């Protein structure tokens, strides 16, 4: 007797779709310009948010997020830990690659952060054979999708400008 097996469908079907969508969006890099004392380098940066706490989200929804950070939870007010990898178009040191760990606060300014939010944070980057600590600030708009950040490291003196696309 031959039985056709049908796929088992459970309540986590929404999460499976969410994961496949999230995975595609993670392929979209951020655009970064790093200005060292002697030259400027362009890089593509990919970010992931392993942990985020939202202090502006509805109290009936959990404020904690792991990897899947809902945009309203971010732009309505949040504190997030982010890790990233960078690929430079020219070697800033002995390698084309870099990485970072960042702690970022998003503070809503207009329409609960949907139209404008302030970003501030601290980051530890590993680039150009150094590991500078950056302090940064910036703004996000378009429902938290588009971020403009300016980062500064006093020692060594390095400026970094980034345009970030944050889907999840």
User: Looking at the predicted structure, is the pLDDT value of residue 101 above 80?
Assistant: yes
- Any idea which residue has 């309203």 for tokens? 72
Average pLDDT, the chain: 82
Q: According to the model, what pLDDT value does residue 5 have?
A: 47
Task: State mean pLDDT over 133-155.
Answer: 88
User: Looking at the predicted structure, is the pLDDT value of residue 85 above 90?
Assistant: yes
Report the half-sphere exposure of 61 (CA within 13 A, side-chain side): 12
- Kindly tell me the sign of the dihedral angle through the C-alpha atoms of 106, 132, 154, 44: negative
Mean pLDDT check: name the lowest of 5-9, 51-55, 143-147: 5-9
Q: According to the model, what pLDDT value does residue 111 have?
A: 85
Report how far Cα 113 is from the mean position of its chain's Cα atoms: 16
Q: How confident is the model at residue 67 (pLDDT cuts 50, 70, 90)?
A: confident
Q: Is-cis flag, bond preceding 88, omega within 30? A: no
Q: According to the model, what pLDDT value does residue 16 have?
A: 56
Other CB atoms within a 10 A radius of the CB of residue 140 amount to 28
Q: Which residues contact 12 (CB under 8 A, 6 or more apart)?
A: none
């Amino acid at each position: 007797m031959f039985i056709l097996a049908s796929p088992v469908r459970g309540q986590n079907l929404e999460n499976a779709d969410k994961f496949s969508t999230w995975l595609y969006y993670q392929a979209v890099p951020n655009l970064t310009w790093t200005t060292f004392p002697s030259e400027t380098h362009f890089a593509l940066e990919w970010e992931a948010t392993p942990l985020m706490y939202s202090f502006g989200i509805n109290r009936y929804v959990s404020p904690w997020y792991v990897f899947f950070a809902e945009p309203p939870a971010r732009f309505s007010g949040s504190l997030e830990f982010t890790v990233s990898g960078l690929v430079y178009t020219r070697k800033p040191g002995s390698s084309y690659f870099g990485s970072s760990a960042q702690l970022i606060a998003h503070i809503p300014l207009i329409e609960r952060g949907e139209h404008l939010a302030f970003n501030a944070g601290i980051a530890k980057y590993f680039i150009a054979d150094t590991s500078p600590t950056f302090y940064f600030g910036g703004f996000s708009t378009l429902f938290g999708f588009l971020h403009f950040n300016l980062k500064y490291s006093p020692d060594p003196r390095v400026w970094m400008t980034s345009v970030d696309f944050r889907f999840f």
